[in-house]
Amino acid sequence: MSERFLLFHKPYNVLSQFSESVLPDGTHHQTLKDYISVPEVYPVGRLDRDSEGLMLLTNNGQVQHRLTDPKFQHPRTYWVQVERIPDAQSLQQLRQGVLIQAYRTRPAQVRLLPEPDLPPRDPPIRFRKSVPTAWLELTLIEGKNRQVRRMTAAIGFPTLRLVRVAIGNLRLDNLAAGQWRDLTTTELRLLRG
């Protein structure tokens, strides 16, 4: 079987797995199987059901290991909509690492973003007239469970929407929610770099 490398824009409310997930009422969660019919590829890392954005899938176990093992410090970039507007001191806490569940995160790169050009989420995030929101660009080199959400909550700015826009040199760019494509020759060369 030849190697396959796919980029997928995971929509909100889709599980990062191919196996079926049945809810107590008998309905099914959407999974990667509802979007990707390529056999024998597996996600490199995960995105929670309530997160959106870029996923890489492959059948190459060595590449999968290199991209998910924390010792390789592979960067992942997220656009994060948070409740209220973080001040410089709060952003500095993220840059230094924050304590979540008795674990200090590695330092992150973070900056305030103008509102990005993203399609509306379905369902939309909750809106409160009296509470402003802000967007952050956050780059991590580790991937603990629900880490971004826990980090922003730890500094007092709960995450409302989370979109992964990059995995290393791979970018979400114009890939629409629910679409996937094979990596280009250039992307493959950079990935193997």
Whole-number Å distance between alpha carbons of 81 and 137: 9
Q: For residue range 144-189, what is the model confidence (pLDDT) as tens digits?
A: 888 999 999 999 999 999 999 999 999 999 899 999 999 999 999 9
**In the chain, which stretches have pLDDT less than 50?**
none
Q: What CATH number does the domain containing 184 carry? A: 3.30.70.580
Q: Which pLDDT score, from 0 to 100, does residue 64 have?
A: 82
Q: Show which residues are catalytic.
A: 48
Identify the pLDDT of residue 193. Answer: 72
pLDDT of residue 75: 92
Are the C-beta atoms of residues 148 and 140 closer than 8 Å to each other? yes
Considering its fold, how many domains does the chain have in total? Answer: 2
Same domain, 21 and 56: yes
Give me the domain span that covers residue 192.
1-72+171-193
The reported pLDDT for the residue numbered 54 is 97
Q: Any idea which residue has 């824009």 for tokens?
A: 9
- Quote the pLDDT of residue 65: 78
pTM metric for this prediction? 0.93
- The sign of the dihedral angle between the CA atoms of 67, 175, 57, 145 is positive
CATH number at residue 122: 3.30.70.1560
